Structure 1
């Protein structure tokens, strides 16, 4: 599938969708399963990223190419650093070779890891020789991608002396760090988070354990957007729980202000458009703990003719694309007005949306899925629509189920 034209949707959105397991939870558990083979995982994500992670972890080759999968690049850098006798080259797509990894490599080198850059200093591809790491203290900036921090935390219980990780400055993306620590605690790892320090004790073996991965909240965001843009809509999504580990679960409270009510059932959520929307009100949000839903929220507000001001978005510049620039480009093609800085986005309210605009997706799955719900307002074309497979391979089939 290259470009996909979606004709203006005139029916009320209704349906029942089962969403694959969380990519974030799955990728953390897949790494942990390598250390603890008696860990069983159910409802693993069927995303490209998780399949690439599985393939890389099972690889017997000397070179591993993880394409656009940023999480895999970070987690595998740490994993292969502690895999004794491993000698591998970790590489990726052209975009991946321009995504920084120096902060993580520096931290791993501080612990004694042997990692070399093969091309540009501070960027993949990397040459890694796995070895036993005995140092147990590392200091790292708190104001960085949580994936660097989680990569270190995932290997921590396997280190001979465990790990004390000390943060410098403000800590961002806290929900993702908490997710990693909660999963470790579920496996019986002894740990503490006290102020600016996390201490993790060694845990060479665990008891037999089965973990069921909760469905992905980032993927749920596109149905929240559909509901917000479709009066009287109602969508059931499974499998979700109220006590979620995922930062993107804040969708339920954010979208209440956009006219969508969330009811938690035993293993599902029911989304309903309540019509309670104040379109004149500015949507002002700090998304530091949930940056992956920024694109969805901006497009929803644009479709509703609302103004929004989002902060805490500094990590979006180093994702699959510079998501702030991409959002500005595409919304302005549709007739909107967007102002961005390195960490904020301000969308002005817009009265009219242009028809049949072709949306560039920039090799970014979230651009394709975030803009799709605008078809409730106007016919739209999504370029390179297959890019959704990175996190949600069945998105277009599921989208069709609730909109036709």
Structure 2
């Protein structure tokens, strides 16, 4: 199973594979092989799966064979990636006795785990409890259903950020106040930065008047960590500093989303510092064109693309990396007029 650059896919499918007899080999491209998988592999081993790395424990490629036999309790860290937690939750109804999962550290990105719980319930697995340090899932079965998938709030952040950077308005249809996605709160972040927000039952509109400057904010983004690059590029256009905290764990994403992000934005002349758990971005009028590396990260690529609406001469290497989550991103971006003054 070739999961290319998709960390989410690789972790979820590894857990699913452990339900079958196998052997199943999960692999990906070199950047994905370097990403950590240890807590998930440890947990599957404790549940009775045969887990055989080709090279280093806790990394791809890995060969997995089931079936799972269950365990009284599994413990894993909660502050590395919520994807480990979700992977186990998704297969838990199929494990004899269900799952009792303890978290040795506080859970990060909790809204993503709540999405998992909600989707599981929609498909019949509704005996799930998510606590601060403990998650339980009863054994049972899934059932077929008709399910409406919301617009992707994470991807919606890019056109919404464009409205903030360029001025004007962007509407996202189908993403309203009832959204279960934590990343839907990005529009609230933009409101704090000076935009006008209108959220209806089924639509979200973000607008910034061109005579209203953006302002910096202090924000803990531990619950919406995928949007750190988006907030960072908006912050480069603000008139006061922005401080992002609570996201030290995103160094292990597709890229080092703190260090790599800062390195690339500095090429444009941005004034940005990296802290242990976040970033500080200070205003500057000296941004200029440069060639930016994506570091194999779709979110860096899309964020840089949005910033290119305001910075002339910005070039992006490996633009096709966006195919991981939004293959038509560049065509969509072409529909948004660049800032002319």
Is the pair's TM-score, using the shorter chain for normalization, greater than 0.5? Answer: yes
Q: Displacement, 1:276?
A: 8.3
User: Map of 1:363-402 to 2, 5 A cutoff?
Assistant: 363-379=296-312, 380-402=314-336
5+ residue gaps, structure 2, are none
Q: What SS does the corresponding residue of 1:209 show, helix, strand or coil?
A: coil
- Counterpart residue number, 2:99: 163
8 Å Cα contact 1:259-1:275 kept in structure 2 = no
The secondary structure found in structure 2 opposite 1:165 is: strand
CA RMSD of aligned residues (A): 1.8
Residue number among 287, 301, 308 corresponding to 2:221 in the alignment:
287
Pairing partner for 1:213 from 129, 134, 149: 149
Contact 1:156 1:200 in 2 (8 A): yes
Q: Is the aligned partner of 1:152 residue 2:88?
A: yes
On the 8 A contact 1:361/1:382 being kept in 2, the answer is: yes
Whether the aligned pair in 2 keeps the contact of 1:91 and 1:126 (CA below 8 Å) is: yes
Partner Cα separation in structure 1 for residue 184 and residue 191 of structure 2: 12
Deviations 1:162-213 (A, max 9, x none): 111112232211111111111112223212234422221112242x411111
- Cα gap change, 1:205 to 1:398, in 2 (>3 Å): closer
Q: 1:237 aligns with which of 172, 175, 182?
A: 172
Aligned to 1:347, which of 248, 259, 281? 281
Larger RCO, structure (CA 8 Å, separation 6 or more): 1
> How far apart are the structure 2 equivalents of 1:309 and 1:76?
36
Q: Say which of 170, 187, 212 aligns to 2:123.
A: 187
The TM-score normalised by the length of structure 2 is 0.93
Three-state SS of the structure 2 residue aligned to 1:303 is coil
Match of 2:71 among 135, 145, 149: 135
> In the aligned structure 2, how far is the partner of 1:306 from the partner of 1:377?
18
TM-score by length of 1: 0.79
Greater shift after overlay, 385-394 or 135-144? 135-144
Deviations 1:37-59 (A, max 9, x none): xxxxxxxxxxxxxxxxxxxxxxx
Question: How far does residue 241 in structure 1 lie from its aligned partner after superposition?
Answer: 2.6
Residue 243 of structure 2 corresponds to 309
Residue 77 of structure 1: which of 14, 18, 24 is its match? 14
SS in 2 for 1:237: strand
Which stretches of structure 1, 4 residues or longer, exceed 3 Å deviation after superposition?
274-279
C-alpha displacement of 1:278? 6.1
**Matches of 1:201 and 1:312, distance apart in 2:** 32
Whether the 8 Å CA contact 1:214–1:241 is kept in 2: the answer is no
Contact kept in structure 2, 1:287 and 1:312, CA below 8 Å: yes
Number of aligned residue pairs: 336
Deviations 1:284-320 (A, max 9, x none): 1111011111001111110234411111212221111
Deviation at 1:120, TM superposition (A): 1.6
